[in-house]
Structure 1
Amino acid sequence: MSPLDLLDVDSLLTDEERDIRALCRRVADDRVRPHVAGWYQDGAAPVRELAREFGKLGLLGMHLTGYGCAGASAVSYGLACMELEAADSGVRSLVSVQGSLAMYAIWRFGSAEQKQRWLPGMAAGELIGCFGLTEPDHGSDPATMSTRARRDGSGWVLTGGKMWITNAPLADVAVIWARAEEGVVGFAVPTDTPGFAAREITNKMSLRASSTGEIVLDDVRLPDEARLPAAAGLKAPLSCLTEARFGIIWGALGAARDCLATALEYAGSREQFGRPIAGFQLTQAKLADMTLELQKGFLLALHLGRLRDSTGSLRPEQVSVGKLNNVREAIKIARTCRTILGGNGISGEYPIMRHAANLESVLTYEGTSEIHQLVIGQKLTGLSAFD
């Protein structure tokens, strides 16, 4: 049986949600799974081609409204992330960064002109976006970012650099955050602007089917119309991260489910000491414990999705609970499934080691486990441990 069949969690979903999940599973099975091992080995994926295919299906910015976006529910978006990450975390990252970071920032904080200029093409997958917040020396503490924006007549000049930026080498527009005299400000920067450069980060051991880059901003001159007018202060980019973390809560479950399904199938056919290893107590204990955590993670994700659909938003600490738990448990599941496959667990013929390596990145990007623990701790105690 499927690991998520144990508690009949499908009964908690609507027909529309199940249909969206089935659509995403089909596209992952048809377009990603047959090729992703090769993409991972080569360290490259056809990002633009995938973006156009996902755009045709309405998967880019699917939880947003207007401008060609599908206006889907939070739960539907979460299920899409789960199915895409069951194929590969890097593929889900493409969709998350495009929709929940770059598109959401423009949709939430941009001007009417910016929204019309960028969002329809991004929703269709014809334009690629990236989100420039993390810097080489400033990750978990973005308030200390070094990138600067200074006024120059009626426009702006950006200087600095960003690091570990998904989609950056291919992006048509980069949402860039910088410090100015008035605080943190955001810009929608066309990547063909003089002074803007992005290089591919190579030799990655994780998320190899994802395009990741370093951005250099060398006196990038922009008109004031490039500034995101409704973005005021650090809360603006942090709210975008909260938006994207919701997809991670669901996506990590997809990677874990795929690992567990692989381990279940393998244990049923692999024989040692005259019988399938699925019949041994220690193997069954591993499978039972992993299935338990997968079920709990799904119920947590579903609760957060329903809460968001009913209230319109989630508090940061609620998202931290989901990201901390589900990614932490997903990587434990991947590692334990690897032990069930023994030596075959490290083979590229099976997806488990690839998922485990990808989840090492998911564990730390968009908030490390330690940061999410402190967010939760601050809410519980009323005391900040960040300073």
Structure 2
Amino acid sequence: MNRYRLLPSDEAAAILELAGDIADRELAPLADDFEERGEFPREAVRVLGRAGLLGLPYDEADGGGGQPYEVYLQVLEVLAYRWLTVAEAVSVHTLACYPLAAFGSSAQRAEYLPGLLGGELLGGYCLTEPAGGSDAAALTTRAVRDGEDYVVNGTKAWITHAGVADFYQVFCRTGGPGPAGVSCVFADASTPGIVPARPERKMGLNASPTAQIAFDDARVPAGRLVGEEGEGFRIAMSALDAGRLGIAACAIGLAQAACDYATGYAKERQQFGTRIIDFQGVGFMLADMATQIEAARQLTLHAARLKDAGRPYGIVAAQAKLFATDMAMKVTTDAVQVLGGYGYVRDHPVERYMREAKVLQIVEGTNQIQRMVISRTMSR
């Protein structure tokens, strides 16, 4: 555990210690093999759920852990330090549970959330489409009311957990154009007409399946509408504010792993009879890496504490996601550089860290979108 870490309670400290123990025992030993084979570690995610780590920021009454968001984010950091695929799985699952937890009816929350937050079920978040990534208000997947069901048709793209999730939050058009026509429905993955495509062949996170999902006359019970018709865009954007913090925490954990590995290597590697960490060019690079990681951590935790206090936090979340993920790309690239030629081969994990860091600048809103969000508030 980071010796500079401040936690709000003894319970939080125990949760982080538990997360670290499970990550060391159940996750870290599997990472290289599962990433090489491109196999999703479903049982490892179940282990986290059974330990109470998949519903941490949600109410205990709904089956969650009742923990502050700042504690949940630090758990994500701990997991990402060992294996980013699993940390991202927890982050996406938490995002997928959000619409029900925040906008679902009391009956929906009572029926569905205990199982979802308990971790036996895994969620996916279906917002992006092939022709519409950043422009979510222009989505075209349509849900038409037919008796007691919605009939859903369309295609979603870049869906994490496609094909392995048990449920999907699906954002679809029930009305006219624009944000006001978007709604959210909660669909079982086994619903006839919901068909995941072949997983994408990605640069990194190979053990985390990402794919398109086709909806072909998929019938979703009308009782699975989350919130009201036309409320889906607000639900999606609200969820992304919190989800961006999850990605920031993942970036911090990944960058810390890269920095620590590079530091350990620099202490052992000698050139010209001297440890390379004692050369100013390398030592200063490591010092900058450590400083940027800590800056990202504190910005992210500041946003989480605003959220926990019920204060507006969306802009700070965008800043945290932007800064932390750009930082992770720089830190992991520098970690490869510290190792030199050894950093470029798979005998050392830093090449995987660098490949994985790239996607964090893209998901939950690209960093260009984060800059737009931030700059717009400055122009008002």
* Same fold? TM cut 0.5: yes
| Partner in structure 2 of residue 249 of structure 1 | 248
Check if 1:141 corresponds to 2:135.
Answer: yes
Cα root mean square deviation, aligned:
1.7
Do residues 229 (structure 1) and 227 (structure 2) align?
yes
Residue 91 (structure 2) pairs with residue 96 (structure 1): yes
Partner letter of residue 140 of structure 1? Answer: S
Tell me the SS of whatever aligns to 2:5: helix
Contact 1:61 1:104 in 2 (8 A): no
Aligned to 2:182: 184
Higher relative contact order (CA 8 A, sep 6+): 1
Moved more, 265-274 or 300-309: 300-309
Residue identity opposite 1:18 in structure 2: A
Q: Is contact 2:183-2:228 (8 Å) kept?
A: no
Partner of 1:301: 300
Structure 2 CA distance for partners of 1:150 and 1:289, relative to 1, 3 Å: same
Match of 2:56 in 1: 62
- Residue equivalent to 1:43: 38
The correspondence for 1:122, drawn from 103, 106, 116, is: 116
Aligned ranges 1:1-387 → 2 under 5 Å: 5=3, 9-11=4-6, 14-47=9-42, 49-65=43-59, 66-99=61-94, 101-181=95-175, 183-230=181-228, 232-311=231-310, 313-382=311-380
Amino acid in structure 2 at the alignment position of 1:124: G
**Structure 2 unaligned regions, length at least 5:** none
Please give the per-residue CA displacement for 1:145-172, whole angstroms capped at 9, x wherever unaligned. Answer: 1101122234321110111111121122
Q: What's the counterpart of residue 385 of structure 1?
A: none
Moved more, 226-235 or 64-73: 226-235
Say if 1:256 and 1:333, in contact at 8 Å, map to a contact too. Answer: yes
User: How far is the alpha carbon of 1:129 from its aligned partner?
Assistant: 1.3
Letter in 1 for 2:299: L
1:121 partner amino acid? G
CA distance in 2, matches of 1:260, 1:14: 28
Q: Secondary structure at the match of 1:50?
A: helix
User: Which deviates the most, 193-202 or 272-281?
Assistant: 193-202
CA distance in 1, matches of 2:191, 2:232: 24
Deviation at 1:18, TM superposition (A): 2.7
Preserved contact between residue 143 and residue 173 of structure 2 (Cα < 8 Å):
yes
Question: CA contact under 8 A between 1:98 and 1:128: conserved in structure 2?
Answer: yes
Q: State the AA in 2 paired with 1:43.
A: G
1:82-117 CA distance string (max 9 Å, x none): 011111221111101111x21111111223333233
What's the secondary structure of 1:337's corresponding residue? helix
Q: 1:27 to 1:349 in 2, by over 3 A?
A: farther
Q: Is 2:307–2:313's contact at 8 Å kept on the other side of the alignment?
A: no
Q: TM-score, normalised by structure 2?
A: 0.94
Asked if the contact 1:37–1:348 (Cα under 8 Å) also holds between the matched residues in 2, the reply is no
> In 2, distance between residues paired with 1:133 and 1:12?
34
Instruction: Check conservation: 2:7, 2:13, Cα contact below 8 A.
Output: no
Contact 2:84 2:254 survives alignment (8 Å): yes
Q: Tell me if the contact between 2:171 and 2:232 (Cα under 8 Å) persists in the aligned partners.
A: no
Instruction: State the TM-score, normalized to the length of structure 1.
Output: 0.92
Change (3 A) 1:329 1:80: same
